[in-house]
């Protein structure tokens, strides 16, 4: 093992990435029976770890999955994951599956969950994506909907999102934006959506098909501080096309300008003034919180 090979946590032990293994009969591998969480690390310090852990435990409770570590110990292992790896700017992925059990879909109480933690260097979208904005292709949200699994659960079953993201990429778009049958927009395969119309910040309300994004939460905190008018509710395709500006949010991209939907430009077709201001304010919050740690 070289000093640069990633070190991975698997069920209480640390391994070089090339030696880390998960059993073939693990239900996460067989059925996607598990959940995950993605953390952002700035200068070797976690940003909003507690918010991510809150969401992890909500997801676990929703599918009757127990975490093998108490919360404080899990936080400590996350920190050790960063300490054991070489990157200052990183993404840490936590995967929790139901573990190994006999074949069959029924959950057996004897199954012991599998917990995996690994880090990688943070690789944001290309600079031109922030300078010029990105485009989305619209899809019906039924194309990504798995019956019985609300988007509030960060499920390991990402097949629908993978397919939609791939189709969008082949059509020349950065992301796939999901739209319900009644014309209301929900989210993209990995991001929350925000629109700006006449100085009003709009975002789809949380619900079964909109994830409670951590970056989304931070943006709403910033909006409150700036005394912006915020509407959490219905956002329709027409609202997007008529908006002055728009952007996407998630842990990895932070705040990403959205300037095109299908063949239509959004606003001026360039990143908007409020989007850029929110990006600046987000960077200030990150810096302030990292400085405290």
Quick one: pLDDT band at residue 1, thresholds 50, 70, 90? very low
CATH fold for domain 7-121: D-amino Acid Aminotransferase; Chain A, domain 1 (3.30.470)
In this predicted structure, the answer to whether residue 131 has a pLDDT above a threshold of 90 is yes
Map out the domains of the chain as residue ranges: 7-121, 127-292
Per-residue pLDDT, 256 = 99
Nearest Cα residue to 33 out of 76, 3, 63, 74: 63
Per-residue pLDDT, 148 = 54
In this predicted structure, the answer to whether residue 52 has a pLDDT above a threshold of 80 is yes
How much helix, strand and coil, in percent to the nearest 5, is found in the chain? 30, 35, 35
pLDDT in tens, 165-183: 999 999 999 999 999 888 8
CATH homologous superfamily of 127-292? D-amino Acid Aminotransferase, subunit A, domain 2 (3.20.10.10)
Per-residue pLDDT, 141 = 65
| 3-state secondary structure labels for all residues of 98-140 | EEECCCCCCCCCCCEEEEEEEEEECCCCCHHHHHHCEEEEEEE
Radius of gyration of the chain from Cα atoms? 20
Percent of the chain with pLDDT strictly greater than 90: 83
Per-residue pLDDT, 2 = 43
Give mean pLDDT, residues 20-24.
Answer: 95
What is the reported pTM? 0.94
């Amino acid at each position: 093992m070289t000093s640069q090979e990633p070190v991975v946590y698997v069920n209480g032990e640390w391994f070089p990435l090339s030696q880390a293994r998960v059993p073939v009969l693990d239900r996460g591998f067989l059925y996607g029976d598990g959940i995950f969480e993605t953390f952002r690390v700035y200068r070797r310090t976690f940003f909003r770890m507690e918010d991510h852990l809150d969401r992890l435990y909500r997801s676990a409770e929703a599918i009757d999955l127990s975490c093998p570590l108490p919360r404080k110990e899990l936080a400590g292992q996350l920190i050790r994951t960063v300490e054991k790896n070489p990157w200052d700017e990183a993404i840490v992925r936590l995967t929790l599956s139901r573990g190994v059990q006999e074949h069959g879909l029924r959950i057996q109480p004897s199954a012991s969950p599998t917990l995996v933690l690994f880090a990688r260097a943070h690789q944001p979208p290309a600079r031109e994506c922030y300078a010029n904005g990105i485009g989305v292709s619209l899809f019906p949200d039924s194309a990504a909907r798995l019956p019985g699994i609300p988007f509030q659960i960060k499920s390991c079953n990402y097949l629908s999102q993978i397919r939609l993201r791939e189709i969008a990429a082949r059509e020349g778009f950065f992301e796939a934006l999901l739209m319900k049958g009644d014309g209301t927009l929900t989210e993209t395969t990995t991001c929350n959506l925000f629109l700006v119309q006449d100085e009003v910040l709009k975002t789809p309300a949380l619900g079964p098909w909109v994830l409670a994004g951590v970056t989304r939460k931070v943006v709403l905190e910033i909006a409150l501080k700036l005394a912006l008018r915020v509407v959490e509710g219905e956002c329709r395709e027409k609202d997007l096309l008529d908006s002055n500006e728009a952007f996407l949010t998630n842990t990895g991209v932070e705040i990403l300008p959205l300037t095109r939907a299908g063949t239509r430009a959004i606003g001026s077709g360039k990143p908007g003034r409020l989007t850029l201001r929110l990006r600046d304010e987000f960077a200030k919050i990150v810096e302030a919180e990292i400085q405290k740690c």
